[in-house]
Amino acid sequence: MALGATLSNPIRARAPRKDLFAASDREILRRYNAMVQQGMRSFSIGLVLAALKICKNSRDLGSGRKIHSDLVASGDNANVVVANTLVDMYAKCGSMPEALAVFRGMDFHSVVSWNCIILGYAQSGDGEFALELYAAMEEEGVSPNRVTLLAALKACASLAEKGDLSVRSRCLDRGILIHEQAARSQDDLEVAVATSLMDMYTKCGAMVEARGIFEKMERRDSVSWNCIILGYALAGDGSLALELFERMKMEGCVPDSVTYVAALKACSSLAEAEAEAPGLDGKLVKAGSFETGRRIHRQASQGGDESDLFVATTLVDMYAKCGCMAEARSVFGRMEEPSVVSWTAVILGYAQTGECELALQFYARMKQRSCVPDAFTYVAALKACGSLGALERGRRIQADISSAGLQGDVFVANALVDFFGQVGSMGEAEEVFQTISPKNLVSWSALMAGYSFQGNVGRVLELFERMRREQPGIRPDEITFRTILTACSHAGMVDRGKECFEEMARVFGIRPGLDHYNCMVDLLGRANHLEEAVAMAREMPFEATLVTWTTILGACHKWKDVEAARVAFDAVVAMDRKHAAAYVLMSNIYGFAGMWEEQARVIEMGRRNMEYDSKN
């Protein structure tokens, strides 16, 4: 928009004219231009503010700068109301350095001035500096109002959302102090502040505190409900999230598109923890989560929310995580303009369900449709290549990553290390690993996993010690120890494996999980320590699974140990009497021992159980 010549005379502000409130944007700008071009001695501050508001709403940074230039030339840029509006305009247009320059040039900062600059930095993603400004405001003795509290809480939430555990801890401490300030002024009872407090607590992982605020609210709107439901979903408590979703409807609050996104994410959370079972087509699915998700899908469709891009994308992701790719693809096919997130969900879904060729076909189609992949897309495509052992195709994706300028992204680089490790190209895995700076735990674990897959236990242990030496701030996690124990198992290093297993809790405070115990059972079984393996299966603090006892039975077959085999076989059949492999292994073990009657009995037992189940 043309804004005319620079003012030559000082501005004498007068009150905004009432007719400005009814004027269109075009009319306001016409009046502003006329005023500037005529060099009026009497200047309407209301007209300036109205013009700046138009620039702010339209994100027209160039025109906003021109008005600022006019104000500097006229000498009225020091007016606190005008300066506040300039700060707000620059912030909304995304130019925080210019907003800060105006703010710092002010002789006096009102609470509105502080609100504009703090909220600007919070909304631009720089929560750290927003909180520094909030602290500076307190030092100047300016009392925060409700808007300030909202801005500071948003800063805490945005900083916690993208930070690690230590960052979230610091944000939580600061958020508690802001909560105390809000409580003193009773602003914490207001819906917007209470909802922002809940959002801050959920982003910091403090769901108990978030729930406490939620239950104290006298009036809850859809934003409040969405916040708490999404908080539980993202915290991995899908069951509680869905309970609140049902309660929301019972209390008469109508779900919106954001609610359905939160509820579907809760289904995805449940799917990640649910055991797979064969579906009608024989493919493994998460049946319980799938049925719940499909019911929520129907409700979203009835409310007209399925067409919402975010709902549709979350549906694709949910069905994919449940292993139901036909439904995921059906929803995807109805989307007019699938987003990069939608494409990535389908690609990752096919990769995770073992249909890796389809995953790579969708990756190719995505590029053909001119939808630009992001870091997550490349990671999903690399996962498919790794499962296929497709080295050359993975290299082409690596070239795409370089063309996109993402080779320095640690998330993508870690996926490349993992891919090259899976296909056995450890030289290329090492090359990518060396480029990562700084390396995180995933970087080290990916390289260790590659060498473990190759059976190079010496290199795995060497990397583990090097990680501890070079980056003592990095602490190994459950995945790291699973990789080490697997490597020790394949190399037959029983004593070293036992040492690592014992160090998990004693040195690093990590409680071994079922996977770690199964690794130890495998380690002991491979080394013919079958009595120890059986003892561990019986004594571990988890119920031994089919995998546990099948692993022992397989080791008994290798070492022809009849007594341990009987224990493992009885346990397997008690869990799954149709487990054909168990009957084959046990009959072979009896055959090796020349125990023909026992062999015949097991074969007959297997035949009867198979026939019984087929008839029923």
Q: Are 160 and 204 in contact (CB under 8 A)?
A: yes
Tell me which of 10 and 575 has the higher pLDDT: 575
Does residue 80 carry a pLDDT above 80? yes
User: What is the per-residue pLDDT for 281?
Assistant: 61
Banded pLDDT at 31 (limits 50, 70, 90) = confident
Length of the chain: 616
CB 119 within 8 A of CB 87: no
Mean pLDDT of 127-142: 94
The DSSP result for 309-351, as a single string, is HHHHHHHHHHHHHTT-HHHHHHHHHT-SS--HHHHHHHHHHHH
Structure tokens at 572: 């397997």
C-alpha dihedral sign at 28, 30, 36, 38: negative
pLDDT (0 to 100) of residue 39: 65
pLDDT tens digits, residue range 264-314? 999 999 998 887 666 656 576 788 999 999 999 999 999 999 999 999 999
pLDDT grade, residue 1 (50/70/90)?
A: very low
Cβ neighbours, 10 Å, residue 46: 19
> What pLDDT, on a 0 to 100 scale, did the predictor assign at position 12?
38
Please give the Cα distance from 210 to 206 (Å, whole number). Answer: 6
Beta bridge partners of 278: 284
Query: CATH assignment of 519-616, given 3.30.70.260, 1.25.40.10, 1.10.645.10, 3.90.850.10?
Result: 1.25.40.10
Note the pLDDT tens digit of each residue in 463-474.
999 999 999 989
Cα(120)–Cα(218) distance, rounded to whole angstroms? 30
Residues of the chain with pLDDT > 90: what percent?
79
Task: Report CA torsion sign: 179, 184, 185, 187.
Answer: positive
Average pLDDT, the chain: 90
Compute, in degrees rounded to 10, the torsion defined by CA atoms 201, 207, 211, 214: 30
Cα–Cα distances in angstroms (integers) from residue 495 to residues 50, 482, 523, in the given order: 77, 16, 10
How many whole angstroms from its chain centre is CA 377?
14
Query: pLDDT-derived band of residue 530, with 50, 70 and 90 as boundaries?
Result: very high
pLDDT value at residue 19? 54
pLDDT value for 25: 81
Supply the pLDDT for residue 278: 65
- Answer yes or no: are the C-beta atoms of 260 and 296 closer than 8 Å: yes
Per-residue pLDDT at 566? 97
* pLDDT band, very low/low/confident/very high, at 77 (cuts 50, 70, 90): low
Q: Is the pLDDT of residue 78 over 80?
A: no
Q: What are the domain boundaries of the chain?
A: 220-317, 519-616
Residues 159, 203: Cα–Cα separation, whole Å: 9
* Helix, strand, or coil (residue 370): coil
Q: What is the pLDDT of residues 174-231, one digit of tens each?
A: 999 999 999 998 888 889 999 999 999 999 999 999 999 999 998 899 999 999 999 9
- Cα–Cα distance measured from residue 583 to residue 580, given in angstroms and rounded to the nearest whole number: 5
3-state secondary structure of 75: coil
Residue 315: per-residue pLDDT: 96
The phi-psi region of residue 4 (left if phi > 0; otherwise alpha if psi is between -120 and 50; otherwise beta) is: left
Task: For residue 594, count other CB atoms closer than 10 A to its CB.
Answer: 8
Asked if residue 104 has pLDDT above 90, the reply is yes
pLDDT of residue 15: 42
Confidence at residue 615, expressed as pLDDT on a 0 to 100 scale:
53
Amino acid present at 590: Y
Q: Give the pLDDT score at 432.
A: 98
pLDDT in tens, 573-600: 999 998 999 999 999 999 999 999 999 9
Instruction: State the pLDDT at residue 16.
Output: 45
pLDDT tens for 425-469 read: 999 999 999 999 999 999 999 999 999 998 899 999 999 999 999
User: Per-residue pLDDT averaged across 31-55, rounded?
Assistant: 77
Q: 45-76: per-residue pLDDT in tens?
A: 888 888 899 999 999 999 889 889 888 877 76
pLDDT tens profile 301-357: 999 999 999 999 999 999 999 999 999 999 999 998 999 999 999 999 999 999 999
Q: Is the model's pLDDT at 21 over the cut of 80?
A: no
In this prediction, residue 614 carries a pLDDT of 53
